[in-house]
Structure 1
Amino acid sequence: MFKILLIEDDATLFGEIKERLSQWSYEVYGITDFGRVMQEFTEIKPDLVVIDIQLPKFDGFHWCRNIRSHSNIPIIFLSSRDHPSDMVLSMQLGADDFVQKPFHFEVLIAKIHAILRRVYNYNTDTVSLKTWCGAQIDYEKNIVTNEKGTVELTKNEVFILKLLIEQKNKIVSRDNLINSLWDDKKFISDNTLTVNVNRLRKRLEEIELGQFIETKVGQGYRAIEEDSV
């Protein structure tokens, strides 16, 4: 049974989401003190976090930064604000997905299903270590290491990198990536993929690997080997 931490201060919405998720046998927890979110996060040890942007004391962005400094757990943002910058910022902070309020519960549940299935199942059928461009990628620990150092990736970032490396030196279409990441592209903004890939590339730039993820305008992305540049 997966544990989901729902960081939402609207008691009515919290109850509705909890009831729907409980029907799928998810164990749903809430926050009792919005000044102690990290303490409760540590105590609960959830498998996934759903977090609203507008919260008492500190906003969801604040808590996302704090969670990301300690964990690569999947994070889905909820927002009632119609600002594209909110979605972009949430992705830049390491969120895995973004849901605009008001939303259909089926959409939120589908996104949760897809993320949990991808994050906790994909390592079972792949080699945990992979070498690419002189770096070692650990799919289980979500880290990339070379002589320049080590960077830690989010679940989405390492999954995108895995998909690209599996087809190295070949273009992987945007549709292919979106469908592999989120199962149903009708629920996903095209900009969501762009933000995720840009975030991956920025992380890889820290160890001088960013240039090996190429954007092919109108087509998709390509991971190239160092000796093919």
Structure 2
Amino acid sequence: MTVILLRHGRSTSNTAHTLAGRSEGVDLDDKGREQAAALVERLGELPIKALVRSPLLRCRSTLEPLAQKLGLQPVIEDRLVEVDYGSWTGRKIADLVKEPLWAVVQQQPSAAVFPEGEGLAAVQARAVAAIRDHDRKLAEEHQADVLWVACTHGDVIKSVVADALGSHLDSFQRITADPASCSVIRYTPVRPFVVHVNHTGAALAASLTAPPPKDGDKDAAPSGDAVVGGSTD
């Protein structure tokens, strides 16, 4: 099973340099809408079987063009919602960097709990569980390997990638997830394989449509332990 972790396109909050969190009505800006439209070319030719998204507007807007192209109805997954930043929600980043908690978020995120909000460790737990649950459900439904998309938020993606890499959550700030980027993880019975991180190139097709090894190929990797491909950046 392979999941494309898609961050929503650039939002009005991104350009205003505020922490959107779960604020109502935060949508894509003009650049973000261009990024959403470009997903049709970047992902539209892939054999994607399901679209899952955060309930927030900016994720809905990001997936709409791709969903129309694929003829799929996105499934809303509450566990992929943005971090609950509590009283930090809506504040300017320039002001937040002066808060003592900011250093904790950067240096020891596993210990960070936002005032009146949630902790990053809890975010990782719910997000990884959501990805694993949808992976399992799709495998049972299709009885085959399935490629699917989960559209969510930067810190959520970084926490899932850190888990797949076998890294402690305290390392997750080393991972980048830009607006409209794709990070790709293939889950197997052996271990997860991180195929891409922060992919912003023209297409993922070169690394996600490799033909399976022929029967009897002595050089083929064991079933369930095959690397899907390399970078197209």
Give the TM-score category using the shorter length. 0.3 to 0.5
Give the number of the structure whose residues are more often strand, by fraction.
1
| Higher RCO (CA 8 Å, separation ≥ 6 residues) | 2
